[in-house]
Structures are given as C-alpha cells and as structure tokens.
Amino acid sequence: MNYHDHYQQALHHPQQFWQEQASQLAWYKFPQQIVSSDETAPDWFADGQLNISYLALDFHVEQGRGEQTAIFYDSPVTGVKQAYSYAELKDQVARFAGVLKKQGVQKGDTVVIYMPMIPQAAIAMLAVARLGAIHSIVFGGFAAHELAIRIDDAKPKVIISASHGIEVTRLIPYKPLLDKALQKASHKPECSIIYQRQVAPELQVEAQLQPGRDLDWDSAMQHATDADPVPVNSADPLYILYTSGTTGKPKGVVRDTGGYAVALHYSMSAIYNCHAGDVIFTASDVGWVVGHSYIVYGPLLAGCSTVLYEGKPVFTPDAGAFWRVCQDYKVKAIFAAPTAFRAIRKEDPEAALLEQYDLSVLETLFMAGERLDPPTYQWASDKLKRPVIDHWWQTESGWPIAANLTGIERLPVKPGSATVPVPGYDIQVLDDSGGPVKNGEQGNIAIKLPLPPGCLTTIWNNPARYQSGYLRQFPGFYASGDGGYKDEDGYIFIMGRTDDVINVAGHRLSTGEMEEVVASHPAVAECCVVAKQDSLKGQQPVGLVIMKNGIDMSAEQLQQELVALVREHIGALACFKIAVPVKRLPKTRSGKILRKIVRSIVDGEDYQVPSTIDDPDSLKEIEAALENTG
C-alpha cells in the first residue's frame, strides 16, 4: 500500500486499521474493543491487557533475541561505553522492579525519576512500568524548584535519582538538588533510591545518603529478588510527563499504556523504517517525550538496538561526535533536534569531520522538536547526502503527527514542511473562529477528534485543564497551539506557536512561567518575556522589565539578578540571559500587553501600530532601550 491508501484506511476504517496494528503486539489479553465512541476522550483497546516492560524486554528474549544489544550506552563525558543485551537488560529491570516492590510500589503508584542520561534511567523507567506503576521523569536541567512542583503534583511514593550528571566538563550534583526539592515540596515520598555513579576520580561525586530515607541503588539491588511483569489495562497510565503551558504551572500529560505501545510500534516501522535488529540513535534525553518514545519504548518494542548518548553534538569532544556514534554502532536512523545540527554546522561548516567516519549503514536523518529551517535542512541534506526528514509532534501526541513515512512510501521533501499527516491524524488548519482556511493560508493547526492511539488522555490531577487547554477553542478538534498552513499537495508547514510557549534549543518553555519568576524580584513592577529569534538555539527569551519607583539599581545589576533568579527557579536550560529595563510596555486600552508587536521589535522586524494601542510612544522607547543594550 502507498501512503495515500494507508492514510485513507486509517481515516475511514480506524477499527480495522488499529486492530491490525494492535495484533503486532503480544497482549496478555487481546482487545475486542478497539476504540470507544467518546470522541473527546477515546478509550483505545479498552478491554486489552498488557505490560509494556514485558513487550520491550521479556518478549524479545522469548523470541530468541536475548543476546542482541538492547542499549548501547555511549558517554563521551566520562569515556564509558557499555552494551546491554536484551537478556541483561531484562534481568536488571526485573531486579530493580524487585527493589521497588520491596519499597511498597504497586500498580497505580507514582514514581518520580530525576536522572542523567545513564542506563539506570532507562532501567528505572522499565522497572516502574513492569510493576504497572506510573513514572514521571523530570529533566535533569530543571532546578530544584521545578522538581518540587512536579513532586507535589505527582505525589510519588518513591523518587529515583543519581549522585550526579556531567555537562561537558561541569558536574551537576543531582542529589543536593533533590534534597533541596524535597525540602521545598509539601509531599514527602517514603524513600529515595540513589545511584552512586562510579566514574574517573576527577568526575566523581559521592552523594550523601540520609539514613532511613535514602537507599543506595547497588546495595538495594544485591538484596532484592526479581519481580514479574504485572498485567495492566490498556487505559492504565504508563507515565506522566510535565510540559510547559502558558501559565507558570506545568501540565502533567498522562499517557495510557496500550494505545501508546501500539502507536509507537507502528511508528517504528511506518515512519522510521526501523525493524528488529536495526540500530536507532535518538540524540535527546529521557526527560523529554522524544527520549521516552524513541530512546526507550519505541526502539525496544520494535526489537531494535537503541543508543543512549550522554554527550552533546559538539565539544564532546568535537563536531564529529554524532558521526562517530553512527559509525561505532552501525546506526541506521539518527534523530535529533535541528539545534544540534546548527551547532555542528557552526563548528564544522564544511562537515570535514564527516569524512573521517564510515556511515555506510546510515539511511535517514530525522529531525523534530522545533522548526527545521530550510538552511539547516539544506546543509544537512547536502553534507549527509541522505534523506533528511522533518517531522512534527508534541509531548501531548507522544508520537509524530506529521511526517514523511519512510517505511511506507518516501514522498518528495519540501524544505520547511513536516510533509504529510501521519495515518490516524486528521490535520486541519482553522481560522480564529474555527472555520477552515484556504490552502496556503496560515491558521491554527488543529486535529479532528478523536485523536489516534498514543496521544494524551488527560492532564494529571486536572481534567478540566485538558478540556480548557485543548478541546474548548475549536469544538470537535484538538487545538495544537501551533500555527501554520497546508499547501495544495496537502503538505503541512508548522511555522511556530500561537501561544506563549517558546522553544529554546529544542526545549519547550513557558514565557508565562519566566514572567512569574521575573515579577517576583522585589525591584520589578511589571514585565513581559518574549522570544527572540536565535541563529543557534532557534529562540531565546528576552525580558522587558519596568522597575518599581524609587529603586536605585543599575541595568546591569538588575539583569544579573534576574538571570540568576530564573536559573535558580527554572534552571540553566531556560537560557534566560537578557533583561532590559523599560519605562512602559505597549498595551491595548483594556490593559493587554501587545506581545506580537514586542516580538517584532525584539527581532528588529517592521510592525504596524494597532489602533487599539493605548500609548504608541512606548514602542519607540522599547526600540531605544533594546538598541542601548545592543
């Protein structure tokens, strides 16, 4: 079948289509009900029972793939390389599930994981899933305050962490950050399990364990017995993953088990053309959805070998790092954020380092996480001389919404486009009142309900936010928060967010959250944070700040303190480095900040002064303030 037939089948015969995909997995109880009739919250495979950890590990061992590598751990920051076969990984996961079980973790309990990119992070995820419990991973770049917010919302029974992470050469002591978060949080988990990393002496940090609360991973493993997989219902949550919304409070996206397993398994072959025995290298972090889906669950469900890479695209040690990984592990598909390739291009514009490596097995380069700008597409495509595939998705969807389905039919690429809707997704472009727009015209990207399997089922502890955040704006549709257009061939172009979410180096962040932090500084009367275009990281936050009357503080001092405050509250990954004092902010007569205009000014673009503006002089003042600060 070609792409068109495949897509039409999923659109018009979803029951048969998804039943066929579900039949590729070894369920404990195969579902008789494929999808419920509730379009806004469809229950996928409601009466099916499965365990995703079993499907990702035990199943492959039973099929005779026990000796095949499941995870290649490659850590240029420590010099460590390790391969875990499916049989070894299964044993480690079963044993660690035994550790968790001994601590009382059961089906339905929540467990927070705050770890660097080490195999124990994947082992922890799969062990939680083995017990039918729900994991919630917090990305290591988030500060203690952010971790505390997530602990209070997820209310974990146990937290799993590690002594430290390593960012190029800087050591990140995770355990003290965890201790600080636990002090701040109102919810107190019963225990923490800490993995003490054993690395070279100059990279070593010994975490201090608190007797009675903290357990050492290694000694707990020695005293535990293996735990078997626990069957769960398809709709039972597998994980909660917090993502930035427009307010200061992150949203806990809830993922089901069965729908997700079916969707990921399908995507591994249909989109990535990866099958049992193939090697996929996804250069992300287990703290992001990309890491959940295509470092851990997707590749393992498909019986692939996955590369877990603890390093950067550049400086660990150079811009040839990705090519070296592709050569060393015979990588067939690589997946990364465009920022990574912009960083490689900056360091090695002619891609001279590429010549040093044998990439004969590499077939395709996939990019997502942010818009793939045509110049980066062109560079990667020219240098690699292989298909470069942009694809669009979100934490909420859990797997690609628009892509070029290389495993079904590779369509011609149009630079700037994520290609076509993935089977299961009916993508439409709507105007602000919910009407369709013409091909080529920009609008709001929406998905007609019901969403296919694998997508979010609700927001943890806050189903009303699911309704108000995604379903209310356009009745009958899921509002993606992205804007863009469809061309006459049905190709989808995603141009950027329509809300206050920004994307810095492929990391999704909320300007609303940054504003809350900046506004909490005693010298700040009012502020506005917007994104400025950045040639490396895509976007970079910029704060415009009105100081309180009577405050005697230099602009430099204010900026320094605000930068430190955002780093302390949100984390280094926010990359908040610019805060400019201004006298006024442009507002409508009803008091709403004209953010679109502020964004244009920050980017040095032309703009039209709207008739609703209260104080047109504020615009010139902002231009001058930005010019003064360079």
The residue ranges that bind ligand AMP (CB under 6 A) are: 243, 289, 368-372, 390-395, 418, 481-482, 494, 497, 503, 508
How far is 35 from 44, CA to CA, in rounded Å? Answer: 5
How far is 464 from 459, CA to CA, in rounded Å? Answer: 8
Q: How far is CA 380 from CA 208, 364, 549, in A?
A: 45, 11, 51
| Number of residues in contact with ligand COA under rule CB under 6 A | 23
Strand partners, 166: 171
66 binds, among ligand COA, ligand AMP, none (CB under 5 to 8 A by kind): none
In the complex with ligand AMP, the residue whose CB is nearer, 227 or 531, is 531
Q: Which residues contact 458 (CB under 8 A, 6 or more apart)?
A: 41, 254, 466
The answer to whether residue 172 forms part of the interface with ligand COA (CB under 6 A) is yes
**Least separation in angstroms between CB 605 and ligand AMP:** 20
Task: Count Cα neighbours of 159 within 13 Å in the Cβ-side half-sphere.
Answer: 27
Q: Which stretch binds ligand COA (CB under 6 A): 129-137, 280-288, 443-451, 542-550?
A: 280-288
**Least separation in angstroms between CB 292 and ligand AMP:** 10
Strand bridging mode 251-256 / 237-243: antiparallel
**Least separation in angstroms between CB 290 and ligand COA:** 4
The answer to whether residue 344 forms part of the interface with ligand COA (CB under 6 A) is no
Q: Is 552 helix (H, G, I), strand (E, B) or coil?
A: coil
How far is 50 from 257, CA to CA, in rounded Å? Answer: 8
573 binds, among ligand COA, ligand AMP, none (CB under 5 to 8 A by kind): ligand COA
How far is 165 from 177, CA to CA, in rounded Å? Answer: 11
In the complex with ligand AMP, the residue whose CB is nearer, 281 or 478, is 478
Which of 98, 119, 258, 313 is close enough to bind ligand COA by CB under 6 A?
A: 313
Binding mask 357-396 for ligand COA (x = CB under 6 A): ------------x---------------------------
How far is 597 from 611, CA to CA, in rounded Å? Answer: 13
In the complex with ligand COA, the residue whose CB is nearer, 229 or 369, is 369
572 binds, among ligand COA, ligand AMP, none (CB under 5 to 8 A by kind): ligand COA
Residues in the chain: 630
How far is 325 from 393, CA to CA, in rounded Å? Answer: 25
Residues 104-163 within binding reach of ligand COA (CB under 6 A): 140-141
Q: Is 630 exposed, middle or buried (0-12, 13-18, 19+ CB in 10 A)?
A: exposed
In the complex with ligand COA, the residue whose CB is nearer, 139 or 477, is 139
**Roughly how many angstroms between the first and final C-alpha of the chain, as a whole number?**
56
Q: How far is CA 204 from CA 164, 171, 172, 198, 567, in A?
A: 8, 9, 11, 7, 24
Residue 232 per-residue DSSP state: E
The answer to whether residue 77 forms part of the interface with ligand COA (CB under 6 A) is no
The answer to whether residue 573 forms part of the interface with ligand COA (CB under 6 A) is yes
Which of 182, 343, 403, 563 is close enough to bind ligand COA by CB under 6 A?
A: 343
**Least separation in angstroms between CB 455 and ligand AMP:** 12
150 binds, among ligand COA, ligand AMP, none (CB under 5 to 8 A by kind): none
Q: Which two tokens stand for residue 88?
A: 């070894």
Q: Which of these, 285, 343, 215, 272, lies nearest to 573 by C-alpha position?
A: 285
In the complex with ligand AMP, the residue whose CB is nearer, 124 or 418, is 418
The answer to whether residue 339 forms part of the interface with ligand COA (CB under 6 A) is yes
In the complex with ligand AMP, the residue whose CB is nearer, 19 or 243, is 243
**Least separation in angstroms between CB 231 and ligand COA:** 32
In the complex with ligand AMP, the residue whose CB is nearer, 105 or 446, is 446
The answer to whether residue 340 forms part of the interface with ligand COA (CB under 6 A) is yes
How far is 630 from 628, CA to CA, in rounded Å? Answer: 5
Torsion of CA 50, 55, 58, 63, to 10 degrees: 120
How far is 607 from 465, CA to CA, in rounded Å? Answer: 34
**Least separation in angstroms between CB 312 and ligand COA:** 5
Which of 66, 165, 189, 586 is close enough to bind ligand COA by CB under 6 A?
A: 165
In the complex with ligand COA, the residue whose CB is nearer, 144 or 518, is 144
* Interface positions with ligand COA (CB under 6 A): 140-141, 165, 167, 172, 283-284, 288, 290, 312-314, 336-337, 339-340, 343, 369, 505-506, 572-573, 575
